[in-house]
Amino acid sequence: MRPVLADVYAAAQVIAGIADATPLVPSPHMTDVAGQEFLLKLENMQPIGAFKLRGALNAVAGVQEASGVTCCSTGNHGRGVAYAARARGIRAVICMSELVPQAKVDGIRALGAEVRIAGRSQDDAQAEAERLVAEEGLTEISPFDDPRVIAGQGTIGLEIMAARPDTEVLLVPLSGGGLAAGVAMAAKAIKPSVRVVGISMDRGAAMYESIRAGHPVEIEEVPSLADSLGGGIGMQNRLSFPMCRDLLDEVVLVSEEEIYHAMQVLYYEDRIVAEGACVVGLAAVLSGKVKVTGPTATIVTGRNLDMEMFTRIVTGQDVQLGDVTVKGQPYRGRA
């Protein structure tokens, strides 16, 4: 079941002309900060505004006879599944927790999918998806622990390495591990020496804690600027956990304050509107937590964010995340 490079090439054929060939552009500011060429893979330019379309298209294409599809999602995977299901003319029911921003819920409904809000955690949403499979005969498409999803996300690694075979470091946002597993597998199959670093927020980082423990563990899900990286990895995880454990060279955590600053940097220096989850690679370099040694690429994973929250960040205002306040700082460029 574990996907290999041939599966990624097959996925590239499935998504061709729909979800492939996003731009890979240099960031002069981050190049200056890092001391090495720094590239941005703009998955925020996807039709649904997020990389998740790649894996969703590939997975939904593989569904045979079913009354529809379902998934649990923090937003972007659900949007991808909704888009792919609509293209095939089949029913989609997306299960999410109460922590998912309303902007993401509205975006999924706009694509014609049904939305079920279940509890305050991804585990609650997952339980509802499993009920729909058992009682209504829907086919579940995991946001990360599915071989077709992983292969679809791996096409990003193919595209980066094809465009820039001299890439030495890949900085990949890390949540359930579908993206990191696919990108690392594809990139290392092409260039074994490439260093792949998974990066997450420092509160509720399920994959990080699972790798440390040596097995999937449950974590408390809390509000974060990187909300797309929230949620567990599944206690029965079969694919993304062992692949991330085996293929990632390092896992790094960044704080909410570091994410806040990186969102400002990407906006003011590169004129890019992106979710907090997208900027963790920048945050790791800006904070000095990751040192790069050659041409480096990170993935700007999506743009489906709460614009009121984003406006507060880029104008330097405080942001409230549950019982935590991220103190605002106006952006002044490099000191």
118: Cβ contacts below 8 Å, ≥ 6 apart? 95, 96, 97, 124, 125, 127, 128
Helix ranges (H only) for the chain are 5-15, 28-34, 52-61, 76-88, 102-110, 122-136, 147-163, 178-190, 206-213, 240-247, 256-270, 280-286, 307-314
CA distances from 78 to 102, 191, 200 (A): 13, 32, 20
CA distances from 30 to 157, 219, 266, 292 (A): 20, 32, 9, 11
Report the percentage of the chain scoring pLDDT > 70.
Answer: 99
Q: Which of 290, 260, 275, 333 is nearest to 51 (CA)?
A: 275
Is the pTM value of this prediction over 0.85?
Answer: yes
Report the percentage of the chain scoring pLDDT > 90.
Answer: 87
Interval 91-144: pLDDT, tens: 999 999 988 888 889 999 999 999 999 988 878 898 999 999 999 999 999 999
Indicate the average pLDDT of the chain: 95
25: which DSSP letter? E
Place of tokens 């649904």: 48
HEC sequence for 150-186: HHHHHHHHHHHHHHCCCCCEEEEECCCCHHHHHHHHH
158: Cβ contacts below 8 Å, ≥ 6 apart? 8, 9, 12, 186, 190
Kindly indicate the confidence band of residue 335, based on its pLDDT and cuts at 50, 70 and 90: low
Please check whether residue 168 is in contact with residue 291, taking contact to mean a CB–CB distance below 8 angstroms.
Answer: no
**β-bridge partners, 264:** none
CA 126 from centroid of its chain's CA atoms: 18
- Output the six-digit token pair for 204: 């509720």
Whether residue 283 is predicted with pLDDT greater than 60 in this model: the reply is yes
